[in-house]
Amino acid sequence: MSLEDAIKAQAHGLGFDLVGITRAGPAETADHFDRWLAAGRAGVMEYLSKKADLRRDTRLPYEGVTSAVVVALDYGGKEPAGPVARYARGDDYHELMWARLNTLQAWIGEKVGREVRGRGFVDTGPILERDLARRAGLGWFGKNTNLVNPEIGSFFFIGALLLELDLAPDAPFEHDRCGNCTRCLDACPTSAFVAPRELDATRCISYLTIEQRGAIPETLREATGGNIYGCDICQDVCPWNVRFSSELRESAFASRSIIDSKDPRGLARDILALDDEGYRQAFRGSAMKRAKLSGLKRNAAVVLGNVGNTDDADLLRDVAATDELVVAEHASWALARVTGR
């Protein structure tokens, strides 16, 4: 067995669903990324532009690396749709994937008989992971901008282990298998896709419920529907996911109790009732803490404005009178909607 095949086998043994190898070097999508930033598509995500120069070449963030082992970890696309995007219902995926990438790096060092310098990246570092993943043969860029694999769809996380080690690269994924399909583009409630494979993040429900600080634009609130954190709509309708998405296998990604089996209204009411301590207990170790309690309450108020009824009026009235300004404003908006119905 070649070293490359042994690395892939070990990665699969650690639980990764896809593994490919590519060379570190210039990112093919760097110019597109720069134009996307310049057009203001990133909104308030200013961190994306701070190290944009490093994203242009995967040899820059960690000096000396020559190869990248790119992995994907499925998070259960067959789980029922709900008010929280599937990826965020359980434990934070970053810690789990970093740990496994570190384990893989240590194993590679033992295999070659020396320490192999490198670093694992899981969507928080200045590299374009999708670019690496396509070059490593893991899939193509879908029209909804997600990487799509012909065997498992798109409900997976991407990680990259950059190494100071020469490895034979796999063939890149060259074909676009979306064809004439536009289901993902047509299904987006907020019309966030400017064109195929170009997302205006400032209109995306995931951005609005996670990255957006302060008020959600009133013109977009109704379109967010029952989504409290993130959105899976453009993935749900993708034929590759309808056919090939998998059952949840990673126990760490199973829904925590506050989310499990909750409909949008039920979860929204539970979140609006949380105090700081209840929030810390409910979301300890969760990616959802990125939105903070105020953000989750803001989102929950919008959801009640969209799917709630007059039974929610007293709760919304109390939140509007007692909570911090941004939450209170959204609760007042929701109150007007439920009483108006």
Active-site positions? 123
- Strands in 18-23's sheet, in edge-to-edge order, are 18-23, 67-74, 156-163, 118-121
Would you put residue 211 in left (φ > 0), alpha (ψ -120 to 50) or beta? alpha
Which tokens go with 316?
């919304």
Residue 247 and residue 78 in contact, taking contact as beta carbons nearer than 8 Å: yes
What is the b/e burial string over 95-121, where b = at least 16 CB atoms within 10 angstroms of the residue's CB?
A: ebbbebbeebbebbbeeeeeebebbbb
Q: Which ranges of the chain would DSSP assign to H, the alpha helix? A: 3-13, 30-38, 47-50, 93-112, 129-135, 183-187, 205-206, 218-221, 233-236, 239-244, 264-272, 276-282, 292-307, 313-322, 325-340
Which tokens go with 127?
């590299």
Alpha-carbon distances of 141 from 45, 153, 194, 200, rounded to whole Å: 22, 11, 15, 16
CA 103 to chain centre: 23
Q: Tell me which residue has tokens 């209840």.
A: 278
Q: Tell me which residue has tokens 């994924």.
A: 173
